[in-house]
């Protein structure tokens, strides 16, 4: 009896003869096949919303969000986690990524890493607390590193989520909540860096961004907790203060300098006639929620 084949490992009849296509037809097919990813993730919006609410609740109380993945899934998860501090001003430990094989696996494959259940288990023992949330990412839902991590995280009291392309996978059954964008067979059989990877990135983007909105890291649709550490972002911070504090650029620069680069503090200083210390204290008293202070 053979092992059950995950949908992401099947051959796609629509891409048969891939190597015989003209370059134009080849490129068109590869791009068109990605359309499935967006529809698949959109169908999972209720499950994603449930994950967002629970993750935000835990982070608001001092918990952390951990992503766990292997191979392409781990790299996509690591990318999303790494974008949180510059985009939303979060401490690095708030959203963490754990990839099978460690940092070496970010740039090259580490043989056998995704099959190392012990490493997944140990990673959670070292890092996870009961108030945390742990999201396992595996297109096939079979990566032992990820499955073991989710199983251990659950025993530690963390909230567990599976992001997988197979609703009947061991990962899907291991987690408390499953998010299953059914992207199916890839144009290049088994290459889940294609539409399965696209679905993972869309889902993780939606989860992390929505969580940060719920934590007050966003005002309107503006990135008000941006860390302005380069010319482009300093310009963005200035524009935000000009708009929200209703001042000119010179005044915005003056406010930002006094606010230590914080858009929120700069805006409150102007709008509420406060000094930087007062504005910072007011923000802290209101859990960083700028909306209720303007």
3-state secondary structure the chain: CCCCCCHHHCCCHHHCCHHHCCHHHHHHHHHHCCHHHHHHHHCCHHHHHHHHHHHHHHHHCCCCEEEEECHHHHHHHHHHHHCHHHHHCCCCCCEEEEECCHHHHHCCCCCCHHHCHHHHHHHHHHHCCCCCEEEEEECCCCCHHHHHHHHHHHHCCCEEEEEECCCCCHHHHHCCEEECCCCCCCCCCCCCCCHHHHHHHHHHHHHHHHHHHHCCCCECCECCCCCCCCHHHHHHHHHHHHHHHCCCHHHHHHHHHHCCCCHHHHHHHHHCCCCHHHHHHHHHHCCCCCHHHC
Predicted structure pTM score: 0.92
Q: Which CATH number fits domain 7-214: 3.40.50.10490, 3.40.1480.10, 3.40.630.30, 3.40.50.300?
A: 3.40.50.10490
Q: Does residue 114 carry a catalytic annotation?
A: yes
Q: What are the boundaries of each domain within the chain?
A: 7-214, 231-293
Active-site option among 11, 28, 54, 83: 83
Active-site option among 11, 93, 111, 114: 114
> What's the CATH architecture for 231-293?
Orthogonal Bundle (1.10)
Encode the chain (294 residues) as per-residue pLDDT tens digits: 347 788 888 888 888 889 899 999 999 999 999 999 999 999 999 999 999 999 999 999 999 999 999 999 999 999 999 999 999 999 999 999 999 999 999 998 898 899 999 999 999 999 999 999 999 999 999 999 999 999 999 999 999 999 999 999 999 999 999 999 999 888 899 888 999 999 999 999 999 999 999 999 999 999 999 988 899 999 999 999 999 999 999 999 999 999 999 999 999 999 999 999 999 999 999 999 999 999
């Amino acid at each position: 009896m053979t092992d059950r084949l995950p949908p992401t490992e099947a051959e796609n009849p629509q891409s048969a003869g891939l190597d015989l296509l003209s370059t134009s037809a080849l490129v068109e097919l590869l791009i068109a096949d990605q359309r499935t990813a967006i529809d698949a993730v959109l169908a999972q919006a209720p499950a994603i919303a449930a994950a967002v609410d629970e993750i935000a609740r835990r982070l608001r109380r001092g918990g952390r969000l951990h992503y766990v993945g292997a191979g392409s899934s781990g790299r996509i998860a690591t990318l999303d986690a790494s974008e949180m501090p510059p985009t939303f001003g979060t401490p690095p430990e708030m959203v963490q990524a754990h990839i099978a094989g460690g940092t070496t696996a970010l740039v090259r494959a580490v043989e056998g890493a995704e099959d190392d259940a012990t490493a997944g288990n140990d990673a959670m023992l070292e890092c996870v607390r009961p108030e945390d949330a742990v999201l396992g990412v595996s297109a096939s839902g079979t990566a032992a590193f990820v499955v073991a991590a989710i199983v251990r995280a659950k025993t530690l009291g963390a909230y567990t989520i599976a992001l997988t392309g197979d609703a009947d996978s061991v990962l899907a059954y291991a987690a408390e909540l499953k998010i299953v964008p059914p992207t199916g067979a890839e144009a290049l059989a088994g290459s889940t860096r294609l539409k399965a990877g696209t679905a993972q990135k869309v889902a993780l983007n939606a989860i992390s961004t929505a969580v940060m909105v719920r934590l007050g890291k966003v005002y309107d649709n503006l990135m008000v907790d941006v860390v302005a550490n380069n010319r482009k972002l300093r310009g963005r911070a200035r524009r935000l203060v000009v708009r929200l504090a209703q001042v000119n650029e010179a005044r915005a620069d003056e406010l930002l300098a006094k606010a230590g680069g914080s858009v929120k503090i700069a805006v409150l200083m102007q709008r509420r006639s406060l000094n930087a210390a007062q504005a910072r204290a007011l923000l802290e008293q209101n859990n960083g929620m700028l909306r209720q202070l303007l």
